[in-house]
Structure 1
Amino acid sequence: MSYARLIRPVIDRVYVGARWAARARMEAFYAERGVDLGYENSFFSGVLARPMPAEALADGLVYTDGDMSRELAQGVTKVAAEGTWHLTELGRELALYAQRATAEAAEELWSSGLPMLPGLASVPRLAELVGRVLAHGLATGGPAFHAMSPPYEPGDASPAMLLVTRLGSLRHHRADAHRAAWRAAGLTAEQIKALPDGPERQAIEAETDRRDEPAYAVLTADERLELLAGLGALPG
Structure 2
Amino acid sequence: MSYARLVRPAIDRVYVGARWAARARMEAFYAERGCTLGAENSFFSGVLARPMPAEALADGLIYTSGSMDEELAQGVVVRDAEGAWHLTELGRELTLFAQRATGEAAEELWAMLPGVLPGLGIVPRLADLVGRVLAHAQATGGPVFRAMSPPYEPEGASPALLLVTRLGSLRHHRADAHRAAWRAAGLTADEIRALPDGPERAAIEADTDRRDEPAYAALTKAERWELLAGLAALPN
Using structure 1 for the length normalisation, give the TM-score.
0.99
Q: 1:111: Cα distance to partner?
A: 0.7
SS of alignment partner, residue 138 of structure 1: helix
**Cα deviations across residues 16-55 of structure 1 (Å, max 9, x unaligned)?**
0000000000000000000010011000000000000000
**Cα deviations across residues 74-125 of structure 1 (Å, max 9, x unaligned)?**
0000000110000000000000000000000000001112432120000000
Q: 1:6: Cα distance to partner?
A: 0.1
**Cα deviations across residues 110-150 of structure 1 (Å, max 9, x unaligned)?**
11124321200000000000000000000000000000000
What amino acid is aligned across from residue 110 of structure 1 in structure 2? W
- 2:154 maps to 154
- 1:235 maps to 235
Quote the Cα distance in structure 1 between the aligned partners of 2:28 and 2:150: 29
**1:180-219 matched pairs, under 5 angstroms:** 180-219=180-219
SS of alignment partner, residue 139 of structure 2: coil
- 2:73 maps to 73
- 2:10 maps to 10
What amino acid is aligned across from residue 111 of structure 1 in structure 2? A
Quote the Cα distance in structure 2 between the aligned partners of 1:7 and 1:26: 28
- 1:32 maps to 32
- 1:99 maps to 99
SS of alignment partner, residue 152 of structure 1: coil
Q: Percent identity?
A: 81
Quote the Cα distance in structure 1 between the aligned partners of 2:20 and 2:112: 16
Quote the Cα distance in structure 2 between the aligned partners of 1:223 and 1:117: 19
- 1:165 maps to 165
- 1:23 maps to 23
SS of alignment partner, residue 116 of structure 1: coil
SS of alignment partner, residue 16 of structure 1: helix
SS of alignment partner, residue 66 of structure 1: coil
- 1:122 maps to 122
What amino acid is aligned across from residue 204 of structure 1 in structure 2? I
Cα RMSD, aligned residues only: 0.5
Q: 1:163: Cα distance to partner?
A: 0.1
Quote the Cα distance in structure 1 between the aligned partners of 2:163 and 2:217: 19
Q: 1:221: Cα distance to partner?
A: 0.3
**Cα deviations across residues 184-230 of structure 1 (Å, max 9, x unaligned)?**
00000000000000000000000000000000001000000000000
Is the counterpart of residue 222 in structure 1 residue 222 in structure 2?
A: yes
Quote the Cα distance in structure 1 between the aligned partners of 2:60 and 2:103: 22
**Number of residue pairs the alignment of both structures matches:** 236
- Which 5+ residue runs of structure 1 have no aligned equivalent? none
